[in-house]
Amino acid sequence: MSGLVVDVVVRRGDFEVAAAFEADVGETLALVGPNGSGKSTLVAALAGLVAPVHGRIELDGCALDADDVPSVPPERRPIGVVFQDLLLFPHLSALENVAFPLRARGVDRSTARRRAQELLERLGVGPRAGARPSELSGGEAQRVSLARALVARPALLLLDEPLSSLDVGVRARMRELLSEELARFPGVRVFVTHDPVEATSLADRLVLLEAGRVTQIGTPEEIRAMPRSRYAADLVGLNAFRGRLESAGEGVGRLVTDEGELTVALPPTYEGGEVIGLLRPVDVTLSLEPPAGSARNVLRGRVTSIAVDGERARLRIASAPPLVAEVTLGSLERLGLCEGAAVWASFKALEVQVLVD
Amino acid sequence: MGSSLRRCRTPLGFGLLAAAGILVIGLPIVGLVARTPWGRFVPILADGTAREALRLSLVVATSAGVLSLVAGFPLAWVLARASWPGASLVRALVVLPLVMPPVVAGVGLLAAFGRRGVVGSWLYEAFGVQLTFTTGAAVLAAWFVSFPLAVLALEAGLRGIDERLEGAAAAMGASRGYVLRRVTVPLLRSQIAAAFVLAWARALGEFGATITFAGNLQGRTQTLPLAVFERLQTDQDAAVALSLVLIGLALGVILALRGRFLR
């Protein structure tokens, strides 16, 4: 079959990553996970720089790694890589860096340089062809690195945190460029990120990786509808409470987490045990006085951070358990909230969606 | 603020000892320059045996420098990159010639490559080759003492390279040979130059191992230091003049390495 098939166990020191996923030709897959979840280890394994302990990596029907045959060495894999630290060759000019993959594969000098120059032009860094990597800005270096990954027309484009090293201002423009280049790249595209915006805006599907294991695979919509871990919920902007569900009588349940308790509606198929409670930040009501409404969950805590995004503000509240609440800028001003302020947060038991873990 | 920063003053004792150190190094050079017979300088150097010694010194030092690089690079690579039992033992062995008395090196070379030596006797019987008292022996002696400097400089250089760059090159389709030619060696350029210059300078000054293993034959094994030693007994002016030439070459080395030692 065409596309990428991965089912491997990779070890680096004491750390082990076990991952299985597939990506079709023309599809963009994001490997998403917190720091130390094993994303870069997987990239190294795909690129052939680390051999899997066992398992398969297959690209367009060819086994790159398999238990019964020797691995294909990195230099013979049809893969273009943008490394997290770019790893441009410091002793070569931008043009020579981009021509490198062609020259290494035996393409003659003038053809290699012409194709490298064309690609640099397309990515908007043509005039910087003669510059050394140390003379390039972060955005320019990123473009040169992308050109180097694309130039040999690989079957798989592999990008490790392609935007993380950039300033916020440059990042938006680069994300746009990356989105165009991903769309026009004819093969399989896989990129690694820990940024929710990048993941959901650039990828068709996400592979969530936590502590060396795949915890969820799906489209951003699928994950938003049913995040299977606290990290996944965080990624799509939901509060997630992992804990033990206990019955508190007459359709009411108590969700006991390590950080505090919540009252939730008891699902009809209640069997007890480990569950995840999900709560949308917009469902949290904030007030300065103890609320007198019907909400069963009333928590108090200090505001630890406020992030403003357009007309809305997201507040982190150090309650037990901790919460993220979302309010309009108007409400924020009316309540006069700032970081460090004490606040009451309330929400109905029904607003907590309980998923069996 | 209670305490203010005071300029750090040099303690008197330190100043005196430092001055003594400078004198120990400086006075012999001043002495050489003062004793140089400037009037006879050109005729001494124009002398056939002196010219021959200078030519031989350059040939021997350059050959030893090249051999140190050619054999030193793979060894440095193995020491820096591969993990194998005995690596630290081999590193100690490589450093040994640096701290070994050169005359002992000469005796060792004789025991190995002399006509009755472990390898030398076999060379002589099988091929009729006798190494001792040839220019080849002088090169071998110079190589022996200069090799460690080249290996250490190259190993330090290899350890300083970001190995991920080589991995990136492989991921860009480069074979191991191509990575070596187009990434590793170019990144090591200045360390390779330093390794060569250090080995060359050490080989140029070699005396003890050369005179023990290769002898002191004009035109074949008599390099400049050996010529200086011989003239010291017959013509002190010539010894001083030739010494000055060696100092001049040494100064050239320091200038070549100025990025490393001078700022």
pLDDT at A25 over 70: yes
Mean pLDDT, rounded, for B24-38? 91
Q: Which residues of chain A neighbour B169 with C-beta distances below 8 Å?
A: 89, 100, 104
Q: Which residues of chain B neighbour A100 with C-beta distances below 8 Å?
A: 169, 172, 174, 182
Chain B from 176 to 205: CB within 8 A of any A CB? 178, 182-183, 186-187, 189
Give the pLDDT score at B12.
Answer: 87
B162 interface with A at CB cutoff 8 Å: yes
CB-CB contact of A131 with A110 (8 Å): no
Residue A102 to chain B, least CA–CA distance (Å): 8
Q: How far apart are CA A237 and CA A244, in angstroms?
A: 22
pLDDT at B2 over 50: no
Q: Which residues of chain B neighbour A81 with C-beta distances below 8 Å?
A: 168, 171-172
pLDDT at B94 over 50: yes
Give the pLDDT score at B7.
Answer: 66
Sheet harboring A273-279: ordered strands across? Answer: A260-265, A252-257, A239-247, A273-279, A353-356
| A89 → closest Cβ in B167, B183, B189 | B183
Top-ranked range on mean pLDDT: pick from A267-276, B57-66, B253-262? B57-66
Q: With helix as H, strand as E and coil as C, how does A148-192 read?
A: HHHCCCCCEEEEECCCCCCCHHHHHHHHHHHHHHHHHCCCEEEEE
CB-CB contact of A138 with A170 (8 Å): yes
Give the pLDDT score at B6.
Answer: 60
Mean pLDDT, rounded, for B153-180? 94
Residue A33 to chain B, least CA–CA distance (Å): 23
CB spacing of B174 vs A85 below 8 angstroms: no
CATH value at residue B75: 1.10.3720.10
Q: Which residues of chain A neighbour B174 with C-beta distances below 8 Å?
A: 75, 100-101, 104
Give the pLDDT score at A250.
Answer: 81
CB spacing of B174 vs A75 below 8 angstroms: yes
Domain count, chain B: 1
Q: B46 pLDDT band (50/70/90 cuts)?
A: confident
**b (16+ CB within 10 A) / e for A35-61:** eebbbbbbbbbbbbbbebeebbbbbbe
Mean pLDDT, rounded, for A171-195? 91
Q: Which residues of chain A neighbour B178 with C-beta distances below 8 Å?
A: 104
Q: Pick the closest to residue A190 from A73, A58, A43, A9 (CA basis).
A: A43
Q: Where are the domains of chain A?
A: 4-225, 239-356
Q: Which residues of chain A neighbour B184 with C-beta distances below 8 Å?
A: none
Q: Which residue of A has its CA nearest to B188?
A: A91
Give the pLDDT score at A200.
Answer: 82
Q: Which residues of chain A neighbour B190 with C-beta distances below 8 Å?
A: none
| B170 → closest Cβ in A74, A89, A91 | A74
Q: B1 pLDDT band (50/70/90 cuts)?
A: very low
CB spacing of B171 vs A74 below 8 angstroms: yes
Residue B191 to chain A, least CA–CA distance (Å): 14
Taking each helix axis from N to C end, the angle separating B189-204 and B48-81, rounded to the nearest 10 degrees, works out to: 140
B227: left (phi over 0), alpha (psi -120 to 50) or beta: alpha
Does B29 map to a domain? no
pLDDT tens profile B112-154:
999 888 998 998 988 988 888 999 999 999 999 999 999 999 9
Q: Which residue of A has its CA nearest to B174?
A: A104
Range of the domain at B224: 48-261
Give the pLDDT score at B88.
Answer: 87
Distance of CA B97 to the CA centre of its chain: 11
pLDDT at B261 over 60: no
CB spacing of A100 vs B182 below 8 angstroms: yes
pLDDT tens profile A277-321:
888 898 999 999 999 888 899 999 999 988 887 788 889 999 989
Residue A74 to chain B, least CA–CA distance (Å): 5
A38: left (phi over 0), alpha (psi -120 to 50) or beta: left
Q: Note the residue count of chain B.
A: 263
B25 interface with A at CB cutoff 8 Å: no
CATH 1.10.3660.10 assigned to A239-356: no
A154 interface with B at CB cutoff 8 Å: no
pLDDT at A2 over 90: no
Q: How many CA atoms lie within 13 A of A207 on its CB side?
A: 25
Q: How far is CA A53 from CA A6, A66, B242, in A?
A: 13, 10, 65
Q: Mean of the per-residue pLDDT values for chain B? A: 90
Does B144 map to a domain? yes
Neighbours of A197 (CB within 10 A): 12
pLDDT at B42 over 90: no
Residue A331 in tokens? 């409400």
Does B61 map to a domain? yes
Q: A1 pLDDT band (50/70/90 cuts)?
A: low
Does B34 map to a domain? no
Give the pLDDT score at A63.
Answer: 93
Neighbours of A148 (CB within 10 A): 30
Q: A21 pLDDT band (50/70/90 cuts)?
A: very high
CB spacing of B170 vs A75 below 8 angstroms: yes
Residue A106 to chain B, least CA–CA distance (Å): 10
Q: Which residues of chain A neighbour B167 with C-beta distances below 8 Å?
A: 47, 49, 74, 87
Q: Pick the closest to residue B144 from B216, B217, B65 (CA basis).
A: B65
Mean pLDDT, rounded, for A189-193? 94
Beta strands in chain A (DSSP E): 4-12, 15-23, 28-32, 54-59, 62-65, 79-82, 156-160, 188-193, 205-210, 213-218, 239-247, 252-257, 260-265, 273-279, 285-287, 297-309, 312-318, 323-328, 342-347, 353-356
Q: Which residues of chain A neighbour B173 with C-beta distances below 8 Å?
A: 75-76, 101, 104-105, 152
Give the pLDDT score at A196.
Answer: 80
Beta carbons within 8 Å of B178's beta carbon, 6+ residues apart: A104, B169
Q: Pick the closest to residue B36 from B249, B253, B252, B248 (CA basis).
A: B248
B172 interface with A at CB cutoff 8 Å: yes
CB spacing of B169 vs A48 below 8 angstroms: no
Q: A171 pLDDT band (50/70/90 cuts)?
A: confident
Give the pLDDT score at A100.
Answer: 97
Block residue for tokens 């006797």: B121
Q: Mean of the per-residue pLDDT values for chain A? A: 90
Mean pLDDT, rounded, for A112-135? 96
A4-225 CATH: 3.40.50.300
Give the pLDDT score at B78.
Answer: 92
